[in-house]
Amino acid sequence: MMKYIVCQQPGTFLMKEKPAPQKTPGEALVRVKKVGICGTDLHAYAGNQAFFSYPRILGHELAAEILEIETNPLGLKAGDRVVVMPYISCHACAACRTGKTNCCRNIRVLGVHTDGGMQEIISVPVALLLPATGLSEDEMAIVEPLAIGAHAIQRAGLQEGETVVVIGCGPIGIGIMKLAQLAGATVIAIDRDSNRLAYAREEVGADQGVLAGPDAIQRVADLSGGDMAAVVFDATGNKGALESGVQYIAHGGRYVLVGLSKGDLVFNHPMIHAREASILCSRNATREDFMQVIALLRRGEFPTGTYITHRVAFEEMIAQFDRWQDTESGVIKALVTFG
């Protein structure tokens, strides 16, 4: 028997036991070592996550160790440490046929559409495993959220020297900021929390921090010499932030929606039309995004030590989860550790 934690319904976690899974053809059995907690998990617990049903075992930011695996092209074997890509794609739909497996029409994301890694052992398709040579377990557990940022940068077609605005200094926003900074962009961070803005500047390398509020648009105008931002990224998923983000776009600029809101959004058409703005969505990440992030982490180019702010043992996760929803707790990235 093994333990697992299930989100039974919004606001309710239960610790349960069930038999460990058996390996099936094409899949590997892996022991979960660490799970990162992200906005998707928080939103699912709160009951406002899109594409979600209950009960569900959460957890899609996974550091794992292979227990059983068949012969495979990557040469992975039992005992190897691996990063798990949590996106199960059909490889047959229009998106998959053009290499966009991240937005597969029939996608199943671990911890969202199907049960995830908040359990001691999980069976996953071998194709979702990436060798984690040279990474610590902490680094392995943050590859997925950083890959979300890498994909957003790719979607934006970011160019060196461009000014970008990143709305939201949470885990995803911080990843976007760092990757944009490494790409040679000038980065302006926007958030409601002054401590997070300070972190974005001091640890991540954002050039400027702007406190969200009525003065934010003018502040961005001043900082950009009146041009506004060539690229704006929303990493909040907040309806108000998503709708107001268009005000930061330069004429001819791009707006990349990384955060996900559950309902409808309304934009002022004359505003975005006059700017000939491009509004893009960025969903999940590709294998190439994961490999880019793994290489970045191996080079030591991301502040993993300060990004991970909270740690808790698997058995204590339920008691700690509520406080991670409060930004005053100082949480950026929380990790759940097994064993």
pLDDT at residue 278 tops 90: yes
| pLDDT for res 61 | 98
| pLDDT for res 309 | 95
Mean pLDDT of 266-279: 97
Full set of structural domains in the chain with CATH: 2-142+302-337 (3.90.180.10), 151-281 (3.40.50.720)
Extract the tokens encoding 266.
Answer: 């309304």
| pLDDT for res 326 | 77
Mean pLDDT of 19-38: 96
- Entry pTM: 0.96
Question: Is 301 exposed, middle or buried, given 0-12, 13-18 or 19+ CB atoms closer than 10 A?
Answer: middle
Q: What is the mean pLDDT of the chain?
A: 96
pLDDT at residue 325 tops 90: no
| pLDDT for res 31 | 98
Q: Band the pLDDT of 40: cuts 50, 70, 90.
A: confident
Distance CA 181, CA 303 (A): 13
**What is the percent of the chain with per-residue pLDDT over 70, rounded to a whole number?**
100
What is the gyration radius of the CA atoms in the chain, in angstroms? 20
**What is the percent of the chain with per-residue pLDDT over 90, rounded to a whole number?**
92
| pLDDT for res 43 | 86
Q: What is the pLDDT of residues 63-83, one digit of tens each?
A: 999 999 999 999 999 999 999
Q: Residue holding tokens 């390398």?
A: 205
| pLDDT for res 76 | 97
Render the burial of 192-228: b for 16+ CB within 10 Å, e for the rest: bbeebbebbbebbebbbbbebeeebeebbeebbeeeb
Q: Band the pLDDT of 152: cuts 50, 70, 90.
A: very high
Q: What is the pLDDT of residues 101-151, one digit of tens each?
A: 999 999 999 999 999 999 999 999 999 999 999 999 999 999 999 999 999
